[in-house]
Structures are given as structure tokens and as C-alpha cells.
Amino acid sequence: MSRILLVEDDPVTATILGRVLDQSGHEVEIAKNGLAAVEMLESESYGALITDIMMPRLGGEELCRMVRADERYRDLPIFVTTGVIDPEKLAWVDTLDAVEIHAKPIQFSSLIERIDQVTAD
């Protein structure tokens, strides 16, 4: 089991993904935006970060950049879930280490499989 930080402002997606992760044996904590996620990262340790991109009060791109720039979270796996279709708008992901994209609607089995892999390491 691993503690997962899920950053998602859409209550529907957060509820579904939270339940899926819970049933997969992970402990899930939810932040509604990137700013709240930064505060939670300061106070807790997480095995992986899952984040949406388009959110108020610090979006997913800015959050990922901040996390990757911080030595304390250098090894924290990041999963970006997004409905963004334009590949140019996602090019920033390739510039960061250990960040992978999962398109919405989320295919839960593949995401959970990857979460299980990275948190088992």
C-alpha cells in the first residue's frame, strides 16, 4: 500500500479515481488545486502524485515544475491526467523526469497498474 496524493478539482473524477485507488489498496488524499497540493506535500510523504492540469489556484503544469525543481521530491513519480488533446499543450511533460500522461476519460486499469509498479519499487 502506498499513500497517493490526488490533485483534482473535478469532484466526479476525484471521487471515482479516489475510490478506484482505495479499492486497489492505496491510501488516497485529495487536493483540489496545486496550491493545496504543495501544502500537503510539505506535511506528508507520498508514494506518487496524480494531478490534473487545468485547475484554479496553481495548475498541474506549474505544480509539476515546482515538484521537479524541489530536491525533496526528486524521486516522486508523477502521473498527469488530462483531457487536453493538443499535443503542443502537453510538450512540457517531456521536459520533466518521471512524469507520464494518462488521458481522460481515465483508463483505470492501466493507471493503477503503473501506480502499483512505481510504488512497489
Partner 1 sequence: LVDSDEVVDRDVLLELLELGGRDAGFLARLVDAFVDRARTLAVNFRRAIDEGDRSCVEAVAHELRSSGAQLGALRLPRIARDLEAMAAEGNDSLRPSGERFLAEVNLVCAALAEQLGVIGSGHERVDLESGNEPNPAC
Q: Which is nearer to partner 1, 62 or 98 (CB)?
A: 62
Nearest to 37 by CA among 101, 10, 46, 100: 46
Nearest to 80 by CA among 55, 109, 44: 55
Q: Which is nearer to partner 1, 45 or 110 (CB)?
A: 110
In the complex, least distance from residue 56 CB atom to partner 1, rounded to whole angstroms: 6
In the complex, least distance from residue 110 CB atom to partner 1, rounded to whole angstroms: 15
Alpha helix (H) ranges present in 1-121? Answer: 11-23, 34-43, 60-69, 108-120
Joined together, the cell numbers standing for residue 102 give 494518462
Q: Which is nearer to partner 1, 68 or 104 (CB)?
A: 104
Q: Which is nearer to partner 1, 17 or 76 (CB)?
A: 17
In the complex, least distance from residue 12 CB atom to partner 1, rounded to whole angstroms: 4
In the complex, least distance from residue 81 CB atom to partner 1, rounded to whole angstroms: 9
Nearest to 60 by CA among 28, 104, 27, 23: 104
Return the number of other C-beta atoms located less than 10 Å from residue 77's C-beta: 22
Q: Which residues bind partner 1 (CB under 8 A)?
A: 10-13, 15-16, 19-20, 23, 54, 56, 83-86, 104-106
